[in-house]
Structure 1
């Protein structure tokens, strides 16, 4: 969560009031190359190294970014935000009372802020659908958020529910250890080719009887381990009930341009869109928010912002995009970046970023096992080179 005061920024790394989550020790590499994931004004140090890097490289990159821009003095660690509440003042301005607890001293503090930026992410609380009979399953079942080491699945029969990026990546990683993997999903067909030999696509799960999984096609399988790769829930447990916010069907509303609460325009959201290039998107979103707060970007009225949100929502639903997928930008991300960058008067993504992303998608569709072996080099704003490197 980022908190803004007239005397400057104050950034806080916080956990929600629901739980304090330890940093995962996931072993997978990124599924987006570092060349397009890096923040424009701070490139990764090893530009000649692998494009798909280990999670520890990304962590070190963020720490280096924080150190380089001297952000540590403005960060309060080990702090949990308990409540964020709007308060109207006689001037008509809405201020924010933010109550937080220092987890080391247990001291609770309430401070007043001019604006609040919610940056608590949406990869913590897993969305776990109920499956009839799951209570009879004697094996271990986890959400992908809890996934750590593939070795623990050695010689096991595993069912993975969900075939988006996490589901497919985990299936490929587990294939080196597990005896058999059932990749269960409700998609008509996967575009990806060349799944590992011990990975079998099956229909969605209809019900479970002990170790027997019954799929919607009528087929059955004996399963020992179960992994939900079913996405995440948006949660704002610290936000006062005075602020209306809906997260039904995984759509956060009413939020203008995925950034501004339509009714409380000094409440901002960072990083809501999914299936997007993360760090550069945050970079543009942050510049937009700063310019709104310092008055260089004038927001429409609350009613105009709400109507814009509803108009976009209706348009996407008419195009056949389910409500729960509106937040997943995919190919819509490029127009979104251009839109908010133009309004903020800042550079948008150069064309080469989309070109590399298109190439990654094409290679991933051709071969899930080898697409992370490609190494990309940005030549200029429009061109790149790529070579294939055999894995070590």
Structure 2
């Protein structure tokens, strides 16, 4: 007899995929679940590898993790709502290996491994419209061990393939004339390679600053090139020098937009990543120009194909707890407790929001950077799903830790936070070991 269960495919076994799988798998009587993960373990970008280009299967390395990375958010607000960290008294800003273990423990605790197909790459996803107008999905995948391909039919597809694999390389006049070593932060692993070098780092978001603070301990000089005037007065190492954006490159000489120049040995692009869905059929409209994915309703639902979901689009958010709420929102759509507007209404809603943000002066490439917009977003989708949103203490710790970061990039990760209740927290400074 054909199964009456809704067949759900999750593409990607990183944080978002695991959290969605935890909620879908909690309803085995209603859903048949398959998680496709192309590597040999769960965790996505939190799985460190020394490899920087291709993995053992000849696929592009997925992770952008570097060897010494510690989280840039306290674990007390990173933790998933129904799965706290074991060590509640330890450091707040933890090494990436701690997060990887946390995700493996999460997978074990919620018994997700039976649903996960490791070493399985998704090669093609194609929509198929039935006579009744229902969209189904044909997913062609390849077992990377046996080399066997298979095509299966699914009712729902949830894209969780991450956003830290394909680096964005902006066009700079003369960049091809630079004779030195040049990498994207995706390929960065250790700072030792830059000993005694003059290094230019383009971009001063989380990874740009973090890598600059690592590299400066080995390099002769680090030029941190960016256009963020608010960073100019922040405390950094004496051999880090702020410069505006790069005007052009002439061999080893970098000319900056303020008319100054510097001779450079190594160049690191910390210029963000591209959203990519290389396995998706051309029958699905997905535009990913300028770091923006559309047309997507509530940063989650394809406006024309409401059984196609996107996870991991918003940036400058608290991702793990956000995925926890988003997953329950998706589940409520699938079980009918959330009634989506029509496809036309969803597209209009999405277009209205986009237009409003553009009118506020937010460039399209920054729409995903939610910052202060994140709190209303959590509250909105949590209310729609009838689940708890973030307690007030999460925003308080988030704001406080960001303030400490802005005051001194060198020491903000030495603060330790402890949640007292839903409104209050304590914080103390801990000298590094």
Distance 2:327 2:408 in 1: 36
1:21 to 36, 42, 61: 61
Q: Could you tell me which residue of structure 1 aligns to residue 380 of structure 2?
A: 339
Q: Could you tell me which residue of structure 1 aligns to residue 111 of structure 2?
A: 70
Structure-2 change in CA distance of 1:235 and 1:18 (3 Å): farther
CA contact (8 A) 1:96 1:114 kept: yes
CA contact (8 A) 2:62 2:165 kept: no
Structure 2 matches for 1:232-381, cutoff 5 A? Answer: 232-381=273-422
Structure 2 matches for 1:47-126, cutoff 5 A? Answer: 47-126=88-167
Cα distance, 1:20 vs structure 2: 3.6
Distance 1:145 1:364 in 2: 23
Deviations 1:181-231 (A, max 9, x none): 000012334266111111000011111112111111111101111100000
Cα distance, 1:153 vs structure 2: 1.1
Deviations 1:25-71 (A, max 9, x none): 43111101100000011011111110000000000000000011110
TM-score by length of 2: 0.88
Q: Secondary structure at the match of 1:200?
A: strand
Cα distance, 1:165 vs structure 2: 1.1
Distance 2:299 2:228 in 1: 27
Distance 1:358 1:7 in 2: 39
Q: Secondary structure at the match of 2:365?
A: helix
Distance 2:308 2:317 in 1: 22
Distance 1:346 1:146 in 2: 39
Q: Secondary structure at the match of 1:281?
A: helix
Q: Secondary structure at the match of 1:45?
A: coil
Structure-2 change in CA distance of 1:74 and 1:191 (3 Å): farther
CA contact (8 A) 2:329 2:381 kept: yes
CA contact (8 A) 1:33 1:51 kept: yes
Where does structure 1 lack aligned partners over 5 or more consecutive residues?
Answer: none
Aligned length: 392
> Which moves more between the two structures, 45-54 or 24-33?
24-33
CA contact (8 A) 1:33 1:376 kept: yes
Structure-2 change in CA distance of 1:359 and 1:310 (3 Å): same
Q: Could you tell me which residue of structure 2 aligns to residue 8 of structure 1?
A: 32
Distance 1:314 1:302 in 2: 18
> Which moves more between the two structures, 9-18 or 225-234?
9-18
CA contact (8 A) 2:78 2:319 kept: yes
CA contact (8 A) 2:232 2:242 kept: no
Structure-2 change in CA distance of 1:317 and 1:98 (3 Å): same
Cα distance, 1:22 vs structure 2: 5.4
Pair 1:127 & 2:151 matched: no
Structure-2 change in CA distance of 1:191 and 1:254 (3 Å): farther
Distance 2:282 2:187 in 1: 30
Structure-2 change in CA distance of 1:385 and 1:104 (3 Å): same
Distance 2:307 2:35 in 1: 16
CA contact (8 A) 2:358 2:364 kept: yes
Structure-2 change in CA distance of 1:182 and 1:230 (3 Å): same
Structure-2 change in CA distance of 1:360 and 1:151 (3 Å): same
Distance 1:300 1:9 in 2: 26
Q: Secondary structure at the match of 1:385?
A: strand
Structure-2 change in CA distance of 1:168 and 1:359 (3 Å): same
CA RMSD of aligned residues (A): 1.7
Cα distance, 1:296 vs structure 2: 1.2
The runs of 4+ residues in structure 1 deviating greater than 6 Å are 15-18
> Which moves more between the two structures, 95-104 or 14-23?
14-23
Deviations 1:344-392 (A, max 9, x none): 1111011111000000110001000000000000001111000000001
Q: Secondary structure at the match of 2:229?
A: coil
Where does structure 2 lack aligned partners over 5 or more consecutive residues?
Answer: 1-8, 12-23, 45-56
Distance 2:142 2:83 in 1: 32
Q: Secondary structure at the match of 1:11?
A: strand
2:256 to 215, 232, 239: 215
CA contact (8 A) 1:18 1:237 kept: no
